[in-house]
Amino acid sequence: MSISDRLLGKKNVNGKPHIEAVAPSFALPGGEVRIIGKSLSPHELRRPSVRFGEVEAAVLISSDDFLVARVPEGAASGPVVVGTNGNVSNPHSIKVAVPVADNLHPVTNPALDREGNIFVTFSGSRGQKTPVSIYKIDTNYNVKPFLSDMMNATAIAFDREGEMYVSSRHDEAVYKVAPNGTMSTYAEGMGVATGIAFDREENLYVGDRNGTIFKIARDRQIFVFATLEPSVSAYHLAFGPQGDLFVTGPSTSSFDSVYKVDPHGTVSVFYRGLGRPQGLALDVDGNLYVAASLAGKRGIVKITPQAKACLEVSGNGLVGLAFAPGKSAILATHSAIHHIAWGIQGLPLLPE
């Protein structure tokens, strides 16, 4: 490095911007990403240009060594470049989630059957009867009504035989739904029934928003499995590779926890420091992914088995996720479903 380079530090001698990293490198349209590099700010007091492919982005914060940009609507996976003083930076790759369906109202994770079809609730406000309770999105992303007779369909889970189970936070019940949409009551008296998940033995666990996690055995006997603080909206459940149940439930705090409940029902705090944590899922390595805010930034937060957290996907309004075939994922916001090529192998919800 020359003496002039040392004196200028991060400023490139030729003034050409250079991108070193984009974080996070996965985002939904509308999500905010930080672009780190050199010479990213023009000489004059004006903002640089940032383009995601051919689409220009809004620049929210601008400095010489980092920018914050909002991923624009219409952006696709591909290169990001920064332009300053007539110069364009090197391209840096980012993966942008693809919209699959909108005008929906999920309140937790979507669910996939063994053929890869996506099922998502149109939950509505509590006590609201919606024309369609659950939509089915096939592998070609065709969206069709699947179930119409359930009030406030909340969470969906499949057992090992491929049978669907759905909680209703209005009816205080869990229903079993046949492939033709025929509905029968599986368990009642679940309080404000929200998140549901199966363990390896196919016992079904149900989160009651008032603070109880119920366990329903295969013979339909119901037990109180664990007790937590009440949630302001819902509980969300997912099992880890060691058989521990992970639970989120947003409260009135902006510094909420992810709880871990061992197979005996003992509750501990696995991670504390998330804003409104909601749907969650795990990968084969035991990393946990939660729709939440971390340090004020909304998206999908990755938490390692050692309880180290980082923002993995940037995006607003996320309420849940589900891993999909091909190391991809389905992401749910308050009103839409997106697909993202993530490169992560999800943990099977029911190991063989």
∠ CA 312-318-321 to the nearest 5 degrees? 70
pLDDT of residue 128: 74
What is the rounded average pLDDT of the residues 132-151?
94
pLDDT of residue 129: 80
Q: Average model confidence (pLDDT) for the chain?
A: 92
pLDDT of residue 177: 96
- How large a percentage of the chain has pLDDT more than 70? 95
* Predicted confidence (pLDDT) at residue 22 exceeds the cutoff of 70: yes
Distance CA 196, CA 215 (A): 10
Distance CA 123, CA 129 (A): 9
Instruction: Tell me if the domain spanning 100-341 has CATH number 3.30.565.10.
Output: no
pLDDT of residue 14: 60
∠ CA 128-133-136 to the nearest 5 degrees? 155
For residue 115, give the DSSP letter.
T
Assigned CATH for 3-96: 2.60.40.10
Where do you find CATH 2.60.40.10 in the chain?
3-96
pLDDT of residue 315: 98
Task: Encode pLDDT of 153-178 as tens digits.
Answer: 999 999 999 999 999 999 999 999 99
Distance CA 90, CA 96 (A): 19
Sorted by sequence, the CB contacts under 8 Å of residue 346 that are 6+ apart come out as 281, 282, 283, 284, 322, 323, 324, 329
Where do you find CATH 2.130.10.10 in the chain?
100-341
| 120 vs 85, more confident | 120
* Predicted confidence (pLDDT) at residue 1 exceeds the cutoff of 60: no
Q: How many helices (H) and strands (E) does the chain have?
A: 1, 33
Radius of gyration of the chain (CA): 22
* Predicted confidence (pLDDT) at residue 15 exceeds the cutoff of 50: yes
Sorted by sequence, the CB contacts under 8 Å of residue 126 that are 6+ apart come out as 152, 169, 170
DSSP assignment string, 42-101: -SSSSPPEEEETTEEEEEEEE-SSEEEEEPPTT--SEEEEEEETTEE---EEEEEPEEEE
In angstroms, what CA-CA distances link 67 with 89, 168, 280? 13, 44, 30
What is the rounded average pLDDT of the residues 317-339?
96
What is the rounded average pLDDT of the residues 115-125?
90
| 306 vs 350, more confident | 306
What is the rounded average pLDDT of the residues 312-316?
98
Task: Encode pLDDT of 36-80 as tens digits.
Answer: 999 998 877 678 999 999 999 999 999 999 999 999 999 999 999
Distance CA 245, CA 345 (A): 19
Please, are residues 183 and 176 in contact by the beta-carbon 8 Å criterion?
Answer: yes
Lowest model confidence (mean pLDDT) among 7-11, 183-187, 294-298, 331-335: 7-11
Please, are residues 267 and 309 in contact by the beta-carbon 8 Å criterion?
Answer: no
pLDDT of residue 232: 86
- The two three-digit tokens of residue 186, written as one number: 């599986």
DSSP assignment string, 174-200: EEEE-TT--EEEEEE--SSEEEEEE-T
- The two three-digit tokens of residue 125, written as one number: 């406000």
pLDDT band at 350 (very low <50, low <70, confident <90, very high): low
Task: Encode pLDDT of 212-268 as tens digits.
Answer: 999 999 999 999 999 998 998 889 999 999 999 999 999 888 899 999 999 999 999
What is the rounded average pLDDT of the residues 69-98?
96
Sorted by sequence, the CB contacts under 8 Å of residue 112 that are 6+ apart come out as 118, 119, 322, 324, 330
∠ CA 12-13-14 to the nearest 5 degrees? 95
